[in-house]
């Protein structure tokens, strides 16, 4: 198969990504349980800084927040753009945590490189091959979310595009796929997590928020993901989900997030995982 750089054959040791920050080095990969948390989108400076400090104090390791949002409808809130990136930068300074945000268009690459510690390639762009090649040429970790209807092979080949351009720091993120089932937003593929941890040396994380679309399912799926071998999770948290500009129904309140983390810490310890950050 053509995903030769992504598999263990030529790279038996696990890739562990290290992100230096003011609060120490954050690691993503085997042996760790790393939590990425924050709202779907950066909505305002006040709201973002507040939630960033809250999730940090609760135990999150990396902050998320979209500044350039891919929206199904052209009339929906599409993020604050560069202003959103600056808010992320401020949150990084205040909390000392690294940040991740989505790159939608190669024209925004320079801005994202300046403000973000990890580049997120969203599901809708998983097969945007020119974008993948561009992020393959930079020195910054890239998290590739699984395409809406992508097979595991297509997903690995997307990772291969980045790897073969010279960027070895790739993280795979399972976020559910489209199936005939409509009672959940997507269908989470837990077997893909176990399969990829076996086949590939790359870190695998799971996004139980987009995978389910429902806040009450986030905790159970998060636990299933870690039990199946995922190296971390990406979870949407909003201080007032009813008023969120995107993805309110799947966003946890800070209280619920704390509860989910409590269970996860026990599970991580049981599985001999370090809790994301190690000095």
Q: Which residues bind ligand PEP (CB under 6 A)?
A: 40, 66, 70, 102, 122-123, 145, 175, 210
CA atoms of 267 and 94, how far apart (whole Å) = 29
Q: Does 207 bind Mn ion (CB under 5 A)?
A: no
CB atoms within 10 A of CB 193: 23
Residue nearest to Mn ion (CB): 40
Stretch that binds Mn ion, among 37-45, 100-108, 182-190, 227-235 (CB under 5 A): 37-45
Interaction residues for Mn ion, span 233-262 (CB under 5 A): 247
Q: What are the beta bridge partners of residue 37? A: 63, 235
What is the spatial distance between Cα 101 and Cα 66, in angstroms, rounded to a whole number? 5
- Indicate the residue among 27 and 69 with the shorter CB distance to ligand PEP: 69
Cβ proximity to ligand PEP, 122 vs 141, nearer residue: 122
Q: How far is CA 97 from CA 10, 50, 93, 141, in A?
A: 33, 14, 8, 15
43 binds Mn ion (CB under 5 A): no
* Choice between 70 and 229, CB closer to Mn ion: 70
Q: Which residue is nearest to ligand PEP (CB)?
A: 122
Q: At what angle do helices 129-136 and 152-164 cross, to 10 degrees?
A: 40
Q: How far is CA 36 from CA 33, 110, 132, 181, in A?
A: 10, 23, 22, 27
Among 40, 60, 152, 245, binds Mn ion (CB under 5 A): 40
Residues that bind Mn ion (CB under 5 A): 40, 247
């Amino acid at each position: 198969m053509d995903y030769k750089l992504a598999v263990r054959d030529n790279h038996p040791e696990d890739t562990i990504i290290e992100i230096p920050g003011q609060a120490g080095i954050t690691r993503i990969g085997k042996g760790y349980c790393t939590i990425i948390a924050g709202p779907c989108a950066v909505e305002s400076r006040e709201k973002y800084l507040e939630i960033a400090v809250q999730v940090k104090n609760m135990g999150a390791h990396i902050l998320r927040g979209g500044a350039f949002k891919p929206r199904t409808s052209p009339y929906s809130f599409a993020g604050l753009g560069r202003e959103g990136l600056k808010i992320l930068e401020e949150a990084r300074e205040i909390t000392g945590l690294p940040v991740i945000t989505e790159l939608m268009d190669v024209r925004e690459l320079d801005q994202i490189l300046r403000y973000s510690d990890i580049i997120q390639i969203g599901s809708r762009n998983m097969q945007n091959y020119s974008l993948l090649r561009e992020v393959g040429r930079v020195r910054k970790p890239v998290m590739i979310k699984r395409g809406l209807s992508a097979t595991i092979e297509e997903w690995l080949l997307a990772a291969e595009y980045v790897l073969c351009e010279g960027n070895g720091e790739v993280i795979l993120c399972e976020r559910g796929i489209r199936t005939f089932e409509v009672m959940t937003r997507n269908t989470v593929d837990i077997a893909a997590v176990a399969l990829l941890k076996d086949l590939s040396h790359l870190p695998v994380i799971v996004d139980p928020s987009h995978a389910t679309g429902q806040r009450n399912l986030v905790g159970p799926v998060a636990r299933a993901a870690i039990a199946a071998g995922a190296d971390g999770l990406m979870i949407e948290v909003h201080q007032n989900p009813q008023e969120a500009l995107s993805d309110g129904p799947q966003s946890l309140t800070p209280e619920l997030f704390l509860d989910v983390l409590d269970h996860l810490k026990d599970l991580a310890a049981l599985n001999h995982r370090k809790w994301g950050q190690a000095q």
